[in-house]
Amino acid sequence: MVKENNNLETLKKQSNWGGKRKGAGMPKGMKTKKTRERLEAENYFKQRVLDSIEGLVDSQMNLAKGCQYLFKIKKIYVEKEDKYVVPKGAKPEIVKSQTEIASYLAGDFDDRDECDYYFMTTEKPDNRALDSLVDRVFGKAKQNIAVEGSLTISGLLNKLRNNYVGDEDNPDGEEPAE
């Protein structure tokens, strides 16, 4: 039996199995295929965002400020009445033409009868977009938490230590019955 143990020990010492071996494992700084693919996808995404950054910032600024839309309802001429009227059930269209918007803002469309009916509407600013922009420029603001009561932090820790945590008679941390 002793001889078998000696042979086993000798075999273990001579064996190349297990333990730290020089040159074994992945070379330092080498990344796995999965990591390389993830980094490549991240870089692609970042580049797409950077390529579109001006439009993205403009969109976020619009959300932060609120949006304005110019609508128009086209009037039709009614010969019997000899005037332009808004047809029944007419739906407003968003004005997308920059020149038409500029003309409206310049006051070129007066309240003449034959003019299409224009009106503007606005959308409230998005507070989250505002916060996001400000946080990116100035950093996230500190957030304080108000705690009411007379117990101090050290008092709370002592109370937890003494009454609930590590109590041999109360391993579940339940409040002791009085």
Round to whole Å and give the CA distance between 74 and 142: 52
pTM above 0.85, yes or no: no
Which residue ranges make up each domain of the chain? 67-123
The answer, yes or no, to whether residue 142 has pLDDT greater than 90, is: no
Q: Would you state the pLDDT for residue 39? A: 93
The answer, yes or no, to whether residue 139 has pLDDT greater than 60, is: yes
Burial of 73-86, coded b for 16+ CB within 10 Å and e otherwise, reads: eebeeeeeeeebee
- In what side-by-side order are the strands of the sheet with 93-94? 93-94, 67-73, 117-123
3-state secondary structure of 123: strand
Could you give the percent of the chain with pLDDT greater than 90?
8
Pick from 120, 123, 124, 122: which is nearest to 100 by CA? Answer: 120
Q: What is the pLDDT of residues 147-160, one digit of tens each?
A: 676 667 777 777 77
The answer, yes or no, to whether residue 35 has pLDDT greater than 80, is: yes
The answer, yes or no, to whether residue 38 has pLDDT greater than 80, is: yes
Which among 12-16, 34-38, 44-48 has the top mean pLDDT? 34-38
Residue 31 · residue 38 · CB < 8 Å: no
| Chain mean position to CA 111 | 45
Q: What is the pLDDT of residues 84-125, one digit of tens each?
A: 777 788 888 888 888 888 888 787 766 555 567 777 777 777
Extract the tokens encoding 46.
């970042």
Residue 18: band (very low, low, confident or very high) from pLDDT cuts 50, 70, 90: low
Query: What mean pLDDT do residues 45-50 have?
Result: 88
Round to whole Å and give the CA distance between 126 and 128: 6
- 78-to-73, 74, 87, 93 alpha-carbon distances in Å: 16, 13, 10, 21
User: For all residues of the chain together, what is the average pLDDT?
Assistant: 76
Integer distance in angstroms from the first to the last C-alpha of the chain? 63
